[in-house]
């Protein structure tokens, strides 16, 4: 079983749609959680950190459920520029700063 699991997609949605991605992690000791965005043939870039209380950044909302070891990302009012691969990432801080990535979920927003 992979440490971080995501649905690879692709999710094909029209502009303006709301789309949600989910992710599960297996290491209950994980302490930090992130969503990264990766464009084709580019490096991953931090989209947002994820907290138990939930956090929002514009059209993006992230939620963490520690009991279920589940992380989600909601994108509202999708834009063409949101097309990318979204990587769910956890950090077991007891092991330094080692990030464990999911395989990514590909999103394609169409006109």
Instruction: Give the footprint of another protein on this chain (CB under 8 A).
Output: 4, 31-32, 34, 42-46, 49, 87, 91, 93, 95-104
Contacts of residues 52-56 at CB distance under 8 Å and 24 or more positions apart, as own/partner, are none
Which is nearer to another protein, 29 or 111 (by Cβ)? 29
Which is nearer to another protein, 42 or 59 (by Cβ)? 42
Which is nearer to another protein, 11 or 34 (by Cβ)? 34
Distance of CA 47 to the CA centre of its chain: 8
């Amino acid at each position: 079983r992979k440490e971080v699991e995501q649905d690879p997609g692709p999710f094909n949605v029209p502009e303006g749609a709301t789309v949600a991605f989910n992710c599960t992690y297996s290491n209950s000791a994980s302490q930090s959680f992130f969503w990264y965005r990766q464009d084709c043939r580019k490096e991953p870039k931090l989209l947002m950190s994820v907290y138990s209380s939930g956090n929002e950044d514009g059209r993006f909302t992230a939620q963490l459920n520690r009991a279920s070891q589940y992380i989600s990302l909601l994108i509202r009012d999708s834009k063409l520029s949101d097309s990318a691969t979204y990587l769910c990432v956890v950090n077991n801080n007891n092991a330094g700063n080692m990030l464990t990535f999911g395989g990514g979920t590909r999103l394609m927003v169409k006109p």
